[in-house]
Chain A
Amino acid sequence: MNITQLSVFLENRKGRLAEVCSLLGRHQINIRALTIAETESFGVLRIVVDKPDEAAALLKEHRITANVTNVVAVEVPDKPGGLAGVLKVLADHDVNVEYMYGFVEKSSDNALMVFRFDAVEAAIKVLSDSGIKIVGAEHIRGL
């Protein structure tokens, strides 16, 4: 049920993000969700794309340091308190969220969020048992 995120190491310098994004663009790889965590000297770009295997190979070929990370895409009701409800379920079951970010598109009427968990399988079970909808890889490709 988990999906693939590409995590890319980037130096904090002008134009670097643009270079990586245009490399993906030139190869018809579409970014579905994205977030950047940064320090003063470097950043980690985290992206969910429509063709993760191709993207990973492409980055490797260009000697860009990248890892594949398993994340979970979760449907979150698009209304006040929607995200809080999901987070409460996780907290009640002692599931720790490393980080999270949102998709650009919605899935039906719900917002789509990416969650990075330490214990992915346990997190998936907690979410499913609580009736929270998890979106699979095929769905992401179709967005």
Chain B
Amino acid sequence: MIWKEDIETMPLEDLKNLQSERLANIVRYVYENCPVYKDKFDRTGVSPGDVRSIDDITRLPFTTKLDMRDHYPFGLFSRPRTDLVEIHVSSGTTGNPTLVGYTRDDIGLWSDVMARALCCAGAEPEDTIQIAYGYGLFTGGLGFHYGALEMGLTIIPTSSGQTKRQLKIMQDFTPRILACTPSYALYMVEEAKEMGLDPRRSSWEIGIFGAEPWSESMRAEIEAEWNMLATDVYGLSEIIGPGVSQECHLKQGLHVFSDVFYPEIIDPETGQPVAEGQDGELVITTLTKQGIPLIRYRTRDIVSMTTEPCACGRTSPRTSKIKGRTDDMIVVRGINVFPSQIEHVLLGIEGTHPHYQIVIDRQAHQLDSVQIMVEVDERIFSDEIKKMRALERQIQHEIQAVLSVSVEVKLVEPKTLERSMGKAKRVVDKRSL
């Protein structure tokens, strides 16, 4: 079924009119309610009256993660704090996280788009869903929760981890839908086999996987191992969380809910739109969000997009899976990690600036492992093993506290870490996704 059939199958011309009307409204709204945007628009020389059609969107300035950082925590909000009913954070590039907040209407919007996503993947109102995304500050768990609640599914909020319990719950309550990161879905295969379960006979028929990049070969593996349909969901906290776009059962790209999250694909160098079907950076404008609406937000994700209506009946544009990033962000076990966060921690340790390297690996059907190699120079070296171990532990704890991902710290000799053209290579990603 299609959750919002009138909207999701709307003829393109009507959709464009709706987007145009909403864009004009949101531009006026942020201009009047958010001084940061008023200033941004004034400096660009564009006034709300100039925006009459969705095509005028290219006249507006971009919003970046840097803006979120510069105006942390509440500068980009268009509503007073008292109107917010929920706050989430995601990774920031340095000391501060990226803050997002929702008004009651925004939670309604999130519930709506996630209900659309669940339906798009093939959920029916009588289904049971096992939500194995983390609940908490991370938007994955609660985003799915709101959508499932909106749809009237039966929710099993297992959150992430505790794999044996996840599998027992699956056996006992037979949910038809599983929501988690794709790497966790593969990890559970091994655990199931160890428990003597046949993954091909699990109750899960539909998987909704996201929060990290994954390939078609990974999809094929998940589908073969679990005997399920594996679909891709996309979103980012800055926009709403999960629920920006979702694949239907045809798996021909992710349907962007473009009546509320208007997508553009631009050349990250020039900022100009690329031709349809070409790779570029996904830029999203939230057309109806109230708490922290974002105009032309640069996601840094590289995708391509088609506006060709899908055979499923939905008329929304579809993007490819994420093909890369325009920055150095990496996703580890569904958590966004910036090398600069690690640098920031190391800088704070005894005032030194050791050379470091992040090595990420994933063994077959295992979760991602992160090793931080830190070069030991005279400033942090001690002849006492206990002091070296304490240093190792301090680095580990501080990095884990910042990243919310467990890491292993390895102290190495100077000059052992790879440098290309004299420039430090900060990230070695050995995973084949």
Q: Which residues of A contact B (CB under 8 A)?
A: 5, 7, 9-11, 37-39, 41-42, 44, 46, 63-67, 69, 98-99, 116
Contact A9 B384 (CB under 8 A): no
- CB contact list, B406-429 vs A, under 8 A: 410-416
Interface-side segment among B60-68, B116-124, B305-313, B374-382: B374-382
Provide the residues of chain A in CB contact with B415, threshold 8 Å. Answer: 63
B388 within 8 A of A: yes
A65-B381, A67-B382, A116-B383 are contacts. A10–B389 as well, Cβ < 8 Å? no
A99–B164 alpha-carbon span in the complex (Å): 45
Which chain A residue lies CB-closest to B383? Answer: A7
Provide the residues of chain B in CB contact with A64, threshold 8 Å. Answer: 413-414
Contact A42 B411 (CB under 8 A): yes
Provide the residues of chain B in CB contact with A9, threshold 8 Å. Answer: 376, 381, 411, 413
Provide the residues of chain A in CB contact with B383, threshold 8 Å. Answer: 5, 7, 44, 46, 67, 69, 116
Contact B378 A37 (CB under 8 A): no
Provide the residues of chain A in CB contact with B384, threshold 8 Å. Answer: 44, 98-99, 116
Contact B385 A65 (CB under 8 A): no
A63-B415, A65-B413 are contacts. A7–B388 as well, Cβ < 8 Å? no
Contact A67 B389 (CB under 8 A): no
Contact B414 A65 (CB under 8 A): yes
Which chain B residue lies CB-closest to A6? Answer: B383
Contact A42 B388 (CB under 8 A): yes
Contact A65 B376 (CB under 8 A): yes
Contact A11 B413 (CB under 8 A): yes
A99–B387 alpha-carbon span in the complex (Å): 13
Provide the residues of chain A in CB contact with B381, threshold 8 Å. Answer: 7, 9, 65-67
A42–B412 alpha-carbon span in the complex (Å): 7
Interface CB pairs A-B, < 8 A, 30: A5-B383, A7-B381, A7-B382, A7-B383, A9-B376, A9-B413, A10-B413, A37-B385, A38-B385, A39-B385, A41-B410, A42-B376, A42-B388, A42-B410, A42-B412, A44-B383, A44-B385, A63-B414, A64-B413, A65-B376, A65-B378, A66-B378, A67-B378, A67-B381, A67-B383, A69-B383, A98-B384, A99-B384, A116-B383, A116-B384
A134–B403 alpha-carbon span in the complex (Å): 51
Which chain A residue lies CB-closest to B386? Answer: A98
Which chain A residue lies CB-closest to B384? Answer: A98
Which chain A residue lies CB-closest to B412? Answer: A11
Provide the residues of chain B in CB contact with A44, threshold 8 Å. Answer: 383-385, 388
Which chain A residue lies CB-closest to B385? Answer: A37
The minimal Cβ–Cβ distance linking A10 to chain B, given in whole angstroms, is 7
A114–B377 alpha-carbon span in the complex (Å): 25
A9–B383 alpha-carbon span in the complex (Å): 8
The minimal Cβ–Cβ distance linking A85 to chain B, given in whole angstroms, is 26
A66–B376 alpha-carbon span in the complex (Å): 10
Provide the residues of chain B in CB contact with A66, threshold 8 Å. Answer: 378, 381
The minimal Cβ–Cβ distance linking A89 to chain B, given in whole angstroms, is 23
Contact B416 A65 (CB under 8 A): no
The minimal Cβ–Cβ distance linking A59 to chain B, given in whole angstroms, is 10
A64–B415 alpha-carbon span in the complex (Å): 9
Contact B414 A11 (CB under 8 A): no
Provide the residues of chain B in CB contact with A38, threshold 8 Å. Answer: 385
Contact A39 B413 (CB under 8 A): no
